[in-house]
Amino acid sequence: MGQLFAVEIIYRGVFQKTLAKNITRDIVLAAHNEGKLGISFGRYGDSPERNGIPAKSFAIVANDEQTLQEGMAQYEPKQVDVTVVLDDTLCKGTESWAWYGLQPVHHALKPGRTLIVVSLQDAPELLKTIHRNEQPYKLAVLKGVTSFSGMWVFKDDHTDVRVLGAIAKAFPEIVSLQAVERFITEKLKSPLKVTSAKTAYDRFKTIDVKPGEGNPEELFKFALPEWENMREGVSIKGQPQGGPYKDPVTGEVGGFRPARNELFKKYSSRTQRPVVNFSTCTKCTLCWLNCPDASFDVTPENTYDANLEACCGCGVCEAVCPVEDCITMVNESQFKDNNSQYEAFKKDKDAYLKWLEKTIESTEPIEKRSHGFRYRGQYQEQVPEALEVARKG
C-alpha cells in the first residue's frame, strides 16, 4: 500500500474558481514530474457558484495506481496534509457541502500539518479569527493581496505559483520545489513565475499553533433529523413574521425585526460588511427595501441596523443609500464578531462614531475593490500592484 497525500484549497465561489482550479491542477502536473500519480477536482457545495459562497478544490497525489484509486473512491478527502485559504476573510469558517453548520478552516487538517492563508495580516492577528483546534497544527501566511479571478477570467498575479512554492516548502512529500520549477518552466514558460515560486519557498515560515489556541467562539451547528423523525409529506417549516423589539438602552418597544431561520446564516460568504452611521440616517427605507436577504432590522428609532448573521455582504445597501458615508462596505478582516452596531451606537454614541470614522478610513475606495471586475482590463491593471506586494513580502 502506497502513500496518499491531499491538499484542499478553500476559495470563494465565482470570484476564485479559476484560481483554485489552476492551483490544484498544477499540483498534480508538477507531481507527475516526480513520477507520482494524482488527480484534481472540485466538489459540490450548496450553490457553489453563488456570489462569494465558500467552496473547495482538491488535489490528491499518490505513489501508485491502487492508492490513488482508493483515494478517488472517497467523495472528498476526510483529512488533508495542507489546507490553503485563498481569502483571509474565510478564516471565520466555511459551510460544509451538506449544510451541517459552520466548520473551522482547519476542519480536515491532519494534526501537525500546515494551514496556509493568503493575507496581508500576520499570523497572531489571523488567529483572532481562526477557531480553536483540539489538535496542534502549523500556520503560515503567504503575504499577498486576495486574488479574485472569476469563473472564466484569470488574474495573472502569480498567486498560483506562489502557493505552489509554499506547498513545496510546507510538505515536500506532495511535490518538491524542483518539480514545481520544472512544471512552470515547461508548461507556463515563465522565468519570472519560477522566481516567484522560489521566493515564496525561501520566505515560507510557520508558527506552531497549540491545542485550544485561537478564536474561542462556538461555531453554530445542528443535527439533521433522522428519516424516522421527518414529518409526513413534503413540507417546509414556516417562519413567523416577526415584530417590534426593545431598545437596548431605554427598553422602549418599537421598530420591526423579521423572524429569521435559525439554521441558515449567511455571514460565512461575506468578504465585506456594511457599517452604518445612524446619526446621518434619513430613514428613507431604501436599504431595508432593497436588501435581497432581508438583513436589516427597523430599530425602535426607525433607523436600520444590519443583522450581521443574515448579511452576505453584497453591497446593495451601500449602492442605494443616498447619504454619503451613511452606509459603507468595509473589509470583513476588520471584524471579529457579528454584534449589533445599533446596540453599540445606543450605548455610547460618541465612541461609536469615532470607531466608525476610523473604520471607514481603513477601507479601500469602491473603484479599487477586487470583488469581480467592472470593466474589461481591470484585472490586468491590478496585477502590477499585487506583484509589488508579493515582491516586498
d(CA 8, CA 96): 13
CA dihedral sign of residues 130, 135, 140, 145: negative
pTM for the model: 0.87
φ, ψ of residue 332 to 5 degrees: the values are: -65, -25
The correct CATH number of 4-222 out of 3.90.1170.30, 3.30.565.10, 3.40.920.10, 3.40.50.12780 is: 3.40.920.10
**By the 8 A CB rule, do 46 and 40 touch?**
no
Q: What are the domain boundaries of the chain? A: 4-222, 229-262+272-368
Q: What is the pLDDT of residue 367?
A: 61
Number of C-beta neighbours around residue 175 at 10 A: 28
Contact assessment for residue 9 and residue 57, using Cβ atoms and an 8 Å cutoff: yes
Enclosing H/E stretch for 196: helix 191-203
25's CB contacts (< 8 A; 6+ apart) are: 40, 59
The yes/no answer on whether domain 229-262+272-368 falls in CATH 3.90.420.10 is no
Q: Which three cell numbers stand for residue 283?
A: 430613514
Rounded Cα distance, 46 and 220, in Å? 17
Contacts of 69 (CB under 8 A, 6+ apart): none
Cell readout for 261 is 431561520
Is the separation of the CB atoms in 83 and 93 below 8 Å? no
* Rg (alpha carbons) of the chain, rounded to whole number: 23
Cα(391)–Cα(153) distance, integer angstroms: 23
CB distance 100 to 312 below 8 Å: no
- The torsion of the CA quartet 112, 179, 54, 80, rounded to 10 degrees, works out to -30
**pLDDT value at position 168?**
98
Please answer whether residues 59 and 27 qualify as being in contact, where contact means their C-beta atoms are separated by less than 8 angstroms. yes
Q: 229-262+272-368: same fold as 4-222?
A: no
Distance, in Å, from the CA atom of 328 to the CA atom of 8, rounded to the nearest integer, reads 33
CA angle in degrees (0–180, nearest 5) for 128-94-107: 75
Handedness of CA 292, 297, 302, 304 (dihedral sign): negative
Cβ atoms 388, 30 nearer than 8 A: no
In tens digits, the chain (393 residues) has pLDDT values of 688 999 999 998 888 889 999 999 999 999 999 999 999 998 755 555 667 788 899 999 999 999 889 888 887 888 999 999 999 999 988 875 555 678 899 999 999 999 999 999 999 999 999 999 999 999 999 999 899 887 778 889 999 999 999 999 999 999 999 999 999 999 999 999 999 999 999 999 999 999 999 999 888 877 777 777 766 666 667 778 899 998 888 888 999 999 887 777 888 888 889 999 999 999 999 999 999 989 999 999 999 999 999 998 888 999 999 998 899 999 888 888 899 999 999 999 999 999 999 999 888 766 666 566 667 788 888 888 888 888 887
pLDDT at 98: 54
Answer whether 142's CB lies under 8 Å from 121's CB.
no
* C-alpha span between 81 and 60 (Å, rounded): 10
Contact 139, 209 (CB under 8 A): yes
